[in-house]
Amino acid sequence: MKVSSGESWAPSIASGTPASLARAWLWLGVMALIGSGLLAVLLVLSRTPGIQDVFPLKDMFRAALVVHVDLSVAVWFMAFAAVIWSAVGGSGLAWLGWNGFGLAALGTALMTVSPFFPGADPVLNNYIPVLEQPLFFASLWIFGAGVSLAVLRALLTTWPQRFLAEPLRLGAFLGAVAAFLSLAAFFWSWWMVPWVEGAIYYEVLFWGGGHTLQFQHALLMVVAWLWMAAHLSRPSIATARAVSVLFLVAAVPLLVVPAIYLLVPVGSLPHVELFAKLMIWGHPYMAPLVILGALSLWGLRGVPVAPAKSAFVASFVLFAVGGVLGYLIHGVNVVIPAHYHGSTVGVTLAFMGLAYVLLPTLGFGRADSRMAIWQPYVYGAGQLIHVLGLAWSGGYGVQRKVAGADQFLTTLPQKVGMGMMGLGGLIAVIGGLMFVVVCLQAMSRRNGR
C-alpha cells in the first residue's frame, strides 16, 4: 500500500481478540440493518400519497418508526463504532469486550421483538425514541450496558502509543471519549430529571447525550473516510501529525459537555439551549477535517472504480447536503428529518464503505462485485431524493412525525415533495438491501483468518 511520508495510514488489525470482536460486532450491525430495513418499508408506504390511502398503516407508523430509528441509528452506529474500536484496539481485556457484545446482542434481540408484546406505546422523542413498555426499557438498559463495556474497553485499548503519529487510532479514541461523555450524560439526566408523564421527559432525558453522540459519529465518519482513502492507495496529503491535530481540534467542543451539566440544571431551558448552540458552534470545529476529507476525495479521481470509492463519494455528498439543511431549519417541519437523514446517512455510507474494506481483513470474502460498487450510489441516490423531497415539503409546511391524512397534503407542491420522499425512500431500501446481500455473501465465505 502506498503511504504518506513513510507512515502507514490504515491501521493493521491483529488476529485473535481484535479481529474476532470486530467480526462479532459487524454481524450485530448487519442484523440490525436487516430489521431496520424491513420496518422502513412500512414507514415509507405509510407516508406516500396514494399508497397511504390503500394500506391503512397509520397505526403501525409510530411503533415501527421507534424501532426503525433505534435499530438503524443507535444499534447500527454503536455496533460499527465497536467494530472500529475492536479493530484498532489491543488484545487486552477480551472478557470485557465479549461481555459487552453479549449484552448488546441480547438487548438488540429484545428491542426487535418488543413491539409485538402488549403495551408498546410509542413516544417519538428525539435521538432515542422509546416504547413505553417494560420489555423495551429492559432491552434499552441491557444494550446500553453492553455498549458501556465496549466503550470502556475502547478507552483502555485504543489509546495511541505514538499520540500524534497514529491519526486514525487517535480519531477512534476520541470517538470513544465522545461516546463515554454521551453515556455519562444519559445516566446523569436519568438520575437528575424527575419523572413526568409524556414525551417531554424522554426529550430531556436523551437531549444532552444525544447531542454529544453526534460528535462520536462525525469523528468516526472521518476515520472511515481516511481509512478508505488509504486503502485505495491515496492517503492524506497532510502529515500524520497535522491530521492528529485536526482530530484534537474537532474534539475540543466535547470539553463543554461536562461544563453544561455541572453549571446548568438538567432539563432547564438554558440546558436545552446550550446543547442546541453546541451543535451550531461546535460542529464547525469539524470543518478542517471535512475539508481534508474533500481533498482526499479529490485525490481519488484517477482511482479505478471500487466499492470504497463509491461509498466515499456518496457519503461526502449526503453529509454535505445534511449539513447545509441544518442551517435552513425554521419551525417544526420535515426539514428537520431532511437534515438529520442527510447527516446520518453520510455516516452510514462511510461505515458501509469501511465495512467493504474490512471484510477480507477480518477473515471474510472480498466485496468486489458490481453490486458492491453500485450499492452506495443506489442507496445514496435514494436517500438524496428522500432528503430533498422532505426539504421541499418542509418549505411548504408539512409537519414531521405524522403520517397518512394527518399530513394534510392539500397543495400540489406538498404532494410532489412527499412523493419524492416516498420514491427516494423505496430506492434507499433497495440500496440498503443490496448492502446486506453483499455483506452476507462475503461473510459466508471465510478466507481462513
At 134-169, the pLDDT tens digits run 999 999 999 999 999 999 999 999 988 777 888 999
388 alpha carbon, distance to own chain's centre: 20
Band of the pLDDT at 416, cuts 50, 70, 90? low
Q: Are 351 and 434 in contact (CB under 8 A)?
A: no
Report the alpha-carbon distance of residue 367 to residue 373 in Å, rounded: 9
Residue 213 CA to residue 211 CA, distance in Å, equals 5
- Percent over 70 (pLDDT), the chain: 83
100 close to 81: Cβ distance less than 8 angstroms: no
pLDDT tens, position by position, 261-298: 999 999 889 999 999 889 888 888 999 999 999 999 98
The whole-number pLDDT of residue 412 equals 56
Residue among 143, 141, 216 at smallest CA distance from 182: 216
**Greater pLDDT, 403 or 189:** 189
DSSP secondary structure of 33-84: HHHHHHHHHHHHHTTSTTHHHHS--HHHHHHHHHHHHIIIIIIHHHHHHHHH
* Domains recognised in the chain with CATH numbers: 300-449 (1.20.120)
Residue 93's closest CA among 144, 18, 25, 143?
18
Alpha-carbon distance of 83 to 306, in angstroms, equals 21
Residue 288 has what pLDDT?
Answer: 93
* 167-192 pLDDT tens trace: 999 999 999 999 999 999 999 999 99
CA 405/CA 111 separation, integer angstroms: 29
Looking at residue 299, what DSSP letter applies?
Answer: T
Secondary structure (DSSP) of 105-116: HHHHHHHHHGGG
- Give the N- to C-terminal CA distance of the chain in Å, as an integer: 20
| Confidence at residue 324, expressed as pLDDT on a 0 to 100 scale | 75
C-alpha 62/C-alpha 57 separation (Å) is: 10
Q: What angle do CA 20, 22, 26 make, to 5 degrees?
A: 120
pTM comes to 0.88
Average pLDDT of 354-369?
Answer: 92
Question: What does the DSSP 8-state code read for residue 252?
Answer: G
pLDDT of residue 395: 52
Does residue 406 carry a pLDDT above 60?
A: no
Whether the Cβ atoms of residue 403 and residue 60 lie closer than 8 Å to each other: no
119 falls in which pLDDT band (50, 70, 90)? confident
**Cβ contacts of residue 367 below 8 Å, gap of 6+?**
307, 355, 356, 359, 438, 439, 441, 442
Percentage of the chain lying above the pLDDT 90 cut:
51
Q: What angle do CA 16, 71, 297 make, to 5 degrees?
A: 70
Distance in angstroms (rounded) separating the CA atoms of residues 406 and 386? 19
Q: Render pLDDT for 436-449 as a digit per residue (tens, 0 to 9).
A: 999 999 998 876 55
Contact 282, 253 (CB under 8 A): yes
Per-residue DSSP letter, 238: S
Q: Tell me which of 9 and 226 has the higher pLDDT.
A: 226
